[in-house]
Amino acid sequence: MFTVNSGSVVEGVPVETVKIMQGTVEIFAITVGESGRGRQLGMVPVDQPPHTACPNRNRDVDGSTCQKCGVALEANGHHPDKGEVPGRLLFAELGQTKAGKPKLFSKPAATSDNKVVVVFNTMIGFRGGNSHTGDRAGWTCSCGESADTARPEKCPKCGSAEGLKNKFAQFLGEVIAKGVIAEGDAGRAGSGEQLIALIPKDVVFRTFYSGRLYGKPAAHYYVWNGEKLLAATWEERSAADLF
């Protein structure tokens, strides 16, 4: 399992404790997106995730119990040397809840390298958006001409260079959860999707960001090769011939 954040790839996925049913029930889950107006929080429950020591151990904490692990604090507010929180999920198998919804079951090791679960914490540019696609798949021109080949310097039909755009294949990952992030109180200043998806081996996919990027790349390309999840800009990919 991997977490992708607009070109950054980190092994494993953080698991959260999420309150549902008006806060009366807690479950372990992986989340994407946000809660609020014009936003959407997406989640996939996790069965028996790995745990790690609470980061508040041996620290002074406000309140009577630790908000992270639930351990009762000492009289002076000191956190005792105990308590655990959900850790990073490194390996999992995709299954279903009793209602037939996606659920991840923690595993001690990978059972197959044919597919990998990826959490896309995809950004948006200022007052912009984002998208998730497959690899480059030809080009199109504003004059209507198009082809499934590498983009030329000029359109062979009208001779224009300004009207040329790349075409992209469909995103081939199996989306198992979707969330929405946004800017502004109503989410209208900009918004974009974040995904949890099952990605096939040797299939190139892409994250794209629009809006003001302040010098950051507008897109990144990725591929799962069975051992690593590679990430590169188009320029890096072309120069290094990575995939």
pLDDT score for 22 = 84
183-195 pLDDT, tens digit each: 988 888 999 999 9
Look at residue 231 in the predicted model and tell me its pLDDT. 97
- The predicted structure's pLDDT at residue 187: 82
Q: How far apart are CA 209 and CA 203, in angstroms?
A: 20
Is residue 8 scored above 90 in pLDDT? yes
Q: Which residue has the higher pLDDT, 120 or 23?
A: 120
C-alpha to C-alpha distance for 189 and 229, rounded to whole angstroms: 32
Helix and strand numbers (H, E) in the chain are 1, 21
Digit-coded pLDDT (tens) for 38-52? 999 999 999 999 999
What is the per-residue pLDDT for 188? 85
Average pLDDT, the chain: 94
Q: Contact, 230 vs 212, CB < 8 A?
A: no
Task: Give 15-24's long-range contacts (Cβ < 8 A, gap of 24+).
Answer: 15/46, 15/49, 15/50, 15/86, 15/87, 15/88, 15/89, 16/86, 17/85, 17/86, 18/43
CA–CA dist 81, 78 (Å, integer): 9
Whole-structure pTM over 0.75, yes or no?
A: yes
pLDDT tens, residue by residue, 84-138:
999 999 999 999 999 999 999 999 998 888 999 999 999 999 999 999 999 999 9
Residue 21 has a pLDDT of 86
pLDDT number for residue 102: 96
Per-residue buried b or exposed e for 181-199, using 16+ beta carbons within 10 Å of the residue's own CB: bbbeeebeebbbbbbbbeb
Q: Which of the listed ranges 62-66, 85-89, 206-210 does the model predict with the highest average pLDDT?
A: 206-210
